[in-house]
Amino acid sequence: MLGIPTVLDRVVQQAIAQVLTPIFDPLFSESSYGYRPGRSAQQAVEAARVAIEDGCRWVVDVDLERFFDRVNHDKLMHRVARKVEDKRLLRLVRAYIEAGVMVDGVKQATAEGTPQGSPLSPLLSNIMLDDLDAMLEQRGHRFVRYADDVRVFVRSQRAAQRVLDGVTAFVEGRLALKVNQEKSAVTTASSAGLLGFAFFFVAGGKVRIRVHAKARKRVKERIRQLTRRRWAISMPERMERLNRFIAGWMGYFGIAETRSVFEELDEWLRRRLRQIRWKEWKRFAARRRNLIALGIRPDQAHQWAASSKGYWRLAGSAPLQRALPNAYWDDLGLRGFNHHWHRRR
């Protein structure tokens, strides 16, 4: 469950994290990227791309079942105590992970797990899984770990299955955690996903990064929400909200090397905006007048203004695309996916 610390507890937990991070972080694996200073999801994805390009075409996807809920407190504190001798600090850390949560006003004890929402939890998760990193390194495996998201890269399917069995035995035996057998799998590099990204091969054996299909589906769901025809807000305000969302999304996914995907998203977005504009014009006279003002011949403007076709079909029609071209939306301030992609290059 999500645990929201009080303001005082959050301050104290953040102070503990700031003291413990310089102690533990320098010793963490170079293949660990989650919740660490100066490291990012994009760096993890790039490391995965390099491993695949070097010939590790089989990927072991290890899913830790409800990791933050299942962490064994004794095993976690044992790992913290390896580097921390101050008994008062150790007691304080244990008190926070055992603090419990409030459900409908009733306190529920937490016999295991680290509270999600705590400033301490990200660091504690890396401390807990550092032994897994060390085991993989000792066996010479190439891997990427981002918090509880683990990918191991090997050269054959048989080796991948051995790695999955070995990691499962280690996680469930040494760490007392649970590997989700249904979600953990051995897969080819071209079908593997990592942190919202996937990979594809190009000429010369090179590997490129793309946006995963699930991430594309999610971004379209969000754009649908922001471009609802029944949402009565002004076009400038809608543009501002779209621009904020797209800028943030591209700040994360802009490393993908699939210009065509971003162009397709832009085309789809502009078609949805044309639907909104068409509905705003409402009546025949306003539609005819606006189409003529935007350069459509009067006879075509009359024909399309009188059309009973649906919004989506009309938004994709040639006259409406000519009346509301890309430059029209650029002038209104829309900064689409492709705009941000080019800025990163």
Residue 150 corresponds to which tokens in the numbers above?
Answer: 């683990």
> Residue 64: what pLDDT?
93
> Residue 251: what pLDDT?
96
Cα–Cα nearest to 150, from 294, 34, 300? 34
Residues 6+ apart with CB under 8 A from 331: none
Residue 333 corresponds to which tokens in the numbers above?
Answer: 């301030």
AA identity, residue 335: R
Residues 6+ apart with CB under 8 A from 283: none
**Strand pairing report for 197-201 and 207-211:** antiparallel
The C-alpha R_g of the chain, in whole angstroms, comes to: 26
Q: Which residues pair with 208 in a beta bridge?
A: 200
Cα–Cα nearest to 29, from 107, 141, 108, 111? 141
Residue with tokens 């072991």: 60
Q: What is the pLDDT of residues 51-63, one digit of tens each?
A: 999 999 999 999 9
Residue 151 corresponds to which tokens in the numbers above?
Answer: 């990918």
- Kindly list the distances between the CA atom of residue 236 and the CA atoms of 225, 239, 240, 241, in Å, as whole numbers in the listed order: 16, 5, 6, 9
Residue 55: count of CB within 10 angstroms of its CB: 12
Cα–Cα nearest to 146, from 64, 236, 250? 64
What count of Cα atoms within 13 Å lies in the side-chain half-sphere of residue 192?
Answer: 31
Residues 6+ apart with CB under 8 A from 267: none
- Kindly list the distances between the CA atom of residue 39 and the CA atoms of 30, 254, 274, in Å, as whole numbers in the listed order: 10, 17, 41
CA–centroid distance for 211 within its chain? 10
> Residue 63: what pLDDT?
93
Q: Do the Cβ atoms of 205 and 189 come closer than 8 Å?
A: no
pLDDT profile of the chain (345 residues), mean per 10? 82 96 97 96 97 96 90 94 96 88 73 81 95 97 96 97 97 94 94 95 93 97 95 94 97 95 97 96 94 94 93 93 95 95 84
| Burial (0-12, 13-18, 19+ Cβ within 10 Å), 293 | exposed
> Residue 68: what pLDDT?
85
> Residue 261: what pLDDT?
95
Termini Cα distance of the chain: 41
> Residue 1: what pLDDT?
64
**Distance (Å, whole) CA 243 – CA 221:** 16
Q: Would you say how long the chain is, in residues?
A: 345
What pTM did the predictor assign?
Answer: 0.89
